[in-house]
């Protein structure tokens, strides 16, 4: 810009841009969580064929959990081959004390707590997070604490989950937030875990009690198990894809087995698997049909959720 040429100046003093933000700030009003008019169905449909492993429905609470489960189950089929999991949080609790203080953790009959543990989500591909979090709104004047529902905690958990390899558990990991919406005592936290809720506690920082899904199936209760299996499926598909169209004979099937074996051996080295077994076979009828059968037995690594100490005194 030439300061000597006023025609080239931008609006504002000394040719600097004017404060557009202050002019339009009054034209916006805060929205409500989950009521932005977004078409979540179309959004999930658009993600169906994308390489997305962790799904979050912004602003939605656990009532949307089963819809997320249906999406994840459909995307994880052999037809679509985009295995994924979803993270969803609980709704905002109704304050019971003046000043929006935390709900009394000693009240076992609290309706919000009963609602959380009474959820109807049962899926190894959906994680339910509770409670909500508090954050400092720096845009306010003066800055003020804002209480956010579990949907925001779900977003934070999803980001934390994405930062770790598949075999690293969220159990006891620190969550980046200022504070919790509610402080639950050990009795409440135990009930939450037993009812398949990924609970967050305030214990020298905000920590995840146990990294679990909402499934009632014991084998896939840990998030790591679901992610390890999905990682193995993705890796084997990627390893096998170059062999599509090649000859279906012993030599090519042996090469296919070696490629898959190399990938799975890497998972053992990375401590995702304890051990594995893989075979690639085809009967004469399979060869005529163009089928090569890959059979795998995997033993995934599980994380330590509890440490049981037995002490003898003499």
Write the pLDDT tens digit of every residue in 192-226. 999 999 999 998 899 999 999 999 998 899 999 99
Q: Inform me whether the pLDDT recorded for 138 exceeds 60.
A: yes
Percent of the chain with pLDDT over 90: 71
Write the pLDDT tens digit of every residue in 249-294. 999 999 999 999 999 999 999 999 999 999 999 999 999 999 999 9
CA-CA distances (angstroms) from residue 258 to 230, 233, 243?
20, 16, 12
Q: Are 295 and 281 in contact (CB under 8 A)?
A: yes
Within a 13 Å sphere around the CA of 215, how many CA atoms are in the beta-carbon half? 19
Using pLDDT thresholds of 50, 70 and 90, give the confidence band for residue 99. very low
Residue-range domain boundaries for the chain: 40-220, 224-300
Within a 13 Å sphere around the CA of 75, how many CA atoms are in the beta-carbon half? 26
């Amino acid at each position: 810009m030439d300061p000597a040429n006023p025609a080239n100046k931008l609006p504002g003093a000394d040719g600097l841009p004017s404060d557009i933000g202050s002019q339009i700030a009054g034209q916006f009003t805060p929205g409500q969580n989950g009521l932005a008019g977004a078409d979540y169905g179309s959004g999930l449909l658009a993600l169906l064929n994308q390489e997305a492993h962790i799904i979050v429905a912004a602003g939605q609470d656990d009532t949307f959990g089963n819809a997320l489960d249906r999406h994840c189950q459909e995307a994880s089929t052999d037809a679509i081959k985009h295995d994924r999991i979803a993270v969803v949080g609980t709704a905002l609790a109704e304050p019971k004390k003046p000043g929006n203080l935390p709900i009394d953790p000693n009240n076992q009959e609290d309706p919000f707590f009963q609602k959380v543990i009474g959820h109807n989500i049962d899926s190894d591909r959906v994680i339910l997070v509770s409670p909500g979090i508090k954050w400092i709104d720096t845009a306010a004047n003066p800055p003020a604490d804002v209480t956010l529902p579990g949907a925001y905690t779900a977003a934070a958990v999803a980001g934390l989950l994405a930062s770790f390899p598949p075999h690293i558990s969220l159990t006891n990991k620190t969550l980046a937030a200022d504070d919790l919406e509610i402080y639950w005592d050990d009795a409440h936290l135990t009930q939450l875990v037993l009812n398949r809720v990924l609970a967050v506690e305030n214990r020298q920082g905000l920590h995840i009690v146990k990294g679990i899904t909402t499934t009632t199936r014991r084998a896939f209760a840990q998030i790591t198990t679901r992610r390890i299996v999905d990682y193995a499926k993705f890796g084997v598909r990627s390893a096998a894809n170059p062999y599509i169209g090649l000859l279906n004979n012993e030599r090519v099937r042996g090469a296919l087995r070696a490629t898959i074996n190399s990938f799975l051996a890497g998972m053992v080295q990375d401590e995702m698997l304890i051990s594995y077994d893989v075979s690639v076979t085809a009967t004469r009828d399979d060869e005529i049909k163009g089928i090569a059968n890959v059979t795998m037995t995997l033993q995934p690594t599980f994380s330590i959720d509890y440490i049981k100490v037995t002490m003898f005194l003499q």
